[in-house]
Amino acid sequence: MINNIAIIGSSGAIGSAFTKQLSIMYPGAKIHAFSRGKPKVSDLNIKYYSIDYNDENSIKESALITSNEILLDMIIIATGVLHYDQVKPEKGLRDLSAKNFQLIFEANTILPALIAKHFIPKLNRDKRVVFAALSARVGSISDNQLGGWYAYRASKSALNMIIKNTAIEFARRNKQAIIVGLHPGTVDSDLSKPFQGNVADGKLFTPDLSAQKMISVLKHLTPISSGKCYAWDGQEIEP
């Protein structure tokens, strides 16, 4: 039974959808929703908090908040960056920038790793638990046929390694733990808007539909799945 859930990145399109869908699916659970902005007024079984992603102490304190009464059963990391105002996905080597690499890696790799560092120890150790972070199909080295998007691809590949390492380590404490990456598909959000022109018909998901599909995937995974990355349709994405 899912009694205690933490969602980090709850103000984004997918994070907000995860928060809503999990609240509906588990009405008896406590849901702790974190985002960098001013927290919303708590509603139903959801309590909102602000978190400073640039301050590890804030991440540590947030993890303590979620587990001061009971340990966690599920953690969702719905943060991630593809582009900023002045940072665009690279088309070729000529576009590479150390500053852009640093910004993308801080958001997509370092932040989830620090969240894992402080939140995963707050997971139950005697039952099935889930830790899932948004990854991306373009993080797959074997699936890469187009090139480009150097920093984003590399940051998601690195995230997948963090997930694999974490799965191995936490399995020593809880054999029932499931620690995975999730590819949400192409979701109608600010992150994907500049690139939606190339999306095939029927493959642009609403945030709610994407969250529903990923939650369904999580429900059917087993500990054998831990350390891997799965797409919205349940298919494993090869490294």
Query: What is the value of pTM for the model shown?
Result: 0.94
pLDDT recorded at residue 39: 84
Assess contact for 143 and 237: CB atoms under 8 A.
yes
Is it the case that residue 128 has pLDDT exceeding 80? yes
Short-list 86, 5, 95, 100, CA closest to 45: 5
Q: What pLDDT, in 10s, does the model give residues 191-222? A: 655 655 566 666 789 999 999 999 999 999 99
Q: What is the mean pLDDT of residues 87-104?
A: 94
Determine phi and psi for 139, rounding to 5 degrees.
-80, -10
pLDDT recorded at residue 84: 76
Residues in the chain: 239
Lowest mean pLDDT of 117-126, 175-184, 186-195, name the range: 186-195
Q: What pLDDT, in 10s, does the model give residues 155-184? A: 999 999 999 999 999 999 999 999 999 999
Domains of the chain: 4-237 (3.40.50.720)
Q: What is the mean pLDDT of residues 29-38?
A: 95
Half-sphere exposure at residue 86, Cβ-oriented, CA atoms within 13 angstroms? 4
d(CA 211, CA 152) in angstroms, rounded, equals: 22
Provide the CA 10 distance to its chain's centre, in angstroms: 10
Short-list 42, 50, 49, CA closest to 23: 42
